[in-house]
């Protein structure tokens, strides 16, 4: 499925027409907008103690205060900013790296492919989290370290996925035709091959954002992030540190936890629709529902509908 088809008018109509996607887009949009406008809408400085310790939600502090007396709402907003830009950067970088490796391997084949596949496989078998912990422990904490560490450990699966897709596309006759006409290699890869991988790349990218948010939060929760920076993960870390659970200060960990869960949830809803564009069977099922036939296509029994 192609890029233009993935993002074309027809696809947009299809995407916006389905309820789950609309819900996903609304949630994600609200989260992103609230975080982006943190400087304007946040009621307090998130790093200063502006209230009592572990105050439950009230009108002055809508989401309560932390064990250090900071406003949870302000922390949630500023934290969203820091969390989301890092997550999207990781997703962009892993997708790009995976694409470069995959397309190079698929196009040149031979020893180039062998070598790149070997490297990819090595990165695939390295156990992710332990490596991430080790790397994060040795490097100076901060968002750039986070991006670097998660990019290095997160690209390999995508490279495999894209390589297999590119290899099958490469066998299509229009690639041979472009070669025969005398197009240069990089033009063939960039103009003829890559745009045809649209839906796979889009689905992988959305998945990578989910991966990046959860992986980042896990690392920070373990204390491997920059403690001075406010992110959803470090909010969880401090909540844990100040024994919020024992003290019953649920608002200090439920708010960042829900933020992470909601972001992942909304992206998963969006991902479903991207999947539908690339998968003809899902699409056919949707068309059948539209036509008023409620029967899973898996039964392999053509429906009869006489009033149409």
Partner 1 sequence: MLDVPALDIVDLSVGYAGEDSIIPAVDRVSFSIAPGEFMGLAGESGCGKSTIAQSILRLLRAPGIITGGEIRIAGNDMLSEDDNAVRALRWRTASIVLQNSLTSLNPVKRIEWQLQEALNRGTSSVRRTPAELLQMVDIDPKRLRAYPHELSGGQRQRVVIAMALALEPKLIILDEPTTALDVIVQQEIFVTVKALQRQMGFAVLLITHDLPLLFKVADRIAVMKDGKIVETAPVAEFRQHQEHPYSRALLTASPKVDFTTPPVARPKSVAHPVLETAHLTKAYGTNPLTGRSALVAVNDVSFRLAPGEIVALVGASGSGKSTFGRIVTGLTRPSSGDVLVDGRTPVPVSRRRPHQPRAAQMVFQDVYGSLNPLHTIGHHLRRAVISAPGGDKTDVEGRVAALLTEVGLTPTASYLDRRPHELSGGQRQRVGLARALAASPKLLVADEPVSMLDVSIRRDILNLIARLRDEQGVAVLYITHDVVSAGYIADRIAVMHRGEIVEEGLAKAVLANPQHAYTRQLIAAVPGGLGLETSSANPVPAS
In the bound complex, what is the minimum distance in angstroms from residue 197's beta carbon to partner 1?
11
H or E element in which residue 279 lies: none
Instruction: Give me the least distance between CB of 13 and partner 1, in Å please.
Output: 8
**167 in contact with partner 1 (CB under 8 A):** no
Least separation in angstroms between CB 292 and partner 1: 9
| Of positions 4, 45, 58, 241, contacts partner 1 by CB under 8 A | 4
Q: Which stretch binds partner 1 (CB under 8 A): 24-32, 213-221, 238-246, 296-304?
A: 296-304
- Contact flag: residue 2 with partner 1 (CB under 8 A): yes
**Near partner 1 by CB under 8 A: residue from 19, 125, 173, 294:** 173
Distances (CA, A) of 138 to 43, 225, 249: 36, 11, 33
Q: What distance, in Å, lies between the first and last C-alpha atoms of the chain?
A: 31
Q: How far is the CB of 187 from partner 1 (least distance, A)?
A: 8
Beta carbons of 179 and 185 less than 8 angstroms apart: no
Q: Does 294 bind partner 1 (CB under 8 A)?
A: no
**Which residue, 19 or 40, is less far from partner 1 as judged by CB?**
19
Q: Which residues bind partner 1 (CB under 8 A)?
A: 2-5, 14, 172-174, 176-184, 191-192, 195-196, 281, 284-285, 287-288, 290-291, 293, 297, 299-306, 308
């Amino acid at each position: 499925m192609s890029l233009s088809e993935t993002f074309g008018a027809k696809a947009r109509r299809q995407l916006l027409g389905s309820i789950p996607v609309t819900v996903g887009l609304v949630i994600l949009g609200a989260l992103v907008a609230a975080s982006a406008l943190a400087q304007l809408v946040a009621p307090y400085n998130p790093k200063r103690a502006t209230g009592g310790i572990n105050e439950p939600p009230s009108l002055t502090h809508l989401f309560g205060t932390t064990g250090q007396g900071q406003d949870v709402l302000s922390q949630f907003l500023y934290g969203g900013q820091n969390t989301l830009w890092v997550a999207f950067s990781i997703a962009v970088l892993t997708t790009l790296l995976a694409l470069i490796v995959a397309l190079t391997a698929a196009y040149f084949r031979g020893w180039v492919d062998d070598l790149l596949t070997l490297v990819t496989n090595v990165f695939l078998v390295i156990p992710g989290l332990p490596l991430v912990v080790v790397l994060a422990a040795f490097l100076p904490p901060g968002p750039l370290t986070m991006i670097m560490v998660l990019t290095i450990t997160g690209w390999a699966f995508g490279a495999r996925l894209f390589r297999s897709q590119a290899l099958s596309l490469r066998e299509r006759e229009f690639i041979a035709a472009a070669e025969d006409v005398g197009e240069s290699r990089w033009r063939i890869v960039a103009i003829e091959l890559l745009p045809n991988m649209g839906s796979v790349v889009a689905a992988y990218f959305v998945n990578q954002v989910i991966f990046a948010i959860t992986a980042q939060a896990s690392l920070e929760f373990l204390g491997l992030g920059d403690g001075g920076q406010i992110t959803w993960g470090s909010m969880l870390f401090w909540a844990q540190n100040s024994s919020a659970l024992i003290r019953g200060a649920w608002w200090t960990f439920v708010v960042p936890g829900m933020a992470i869960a909601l972001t992942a949830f909304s992206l998963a809803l969006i991902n479903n629709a991207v999947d539908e564009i690339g998968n003809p069977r899902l699409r056919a099922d949707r068309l059948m529902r539209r036509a008023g036939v409620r029967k899973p296509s898996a039964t392999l029994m053509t429906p009869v509908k006489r009033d149409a």
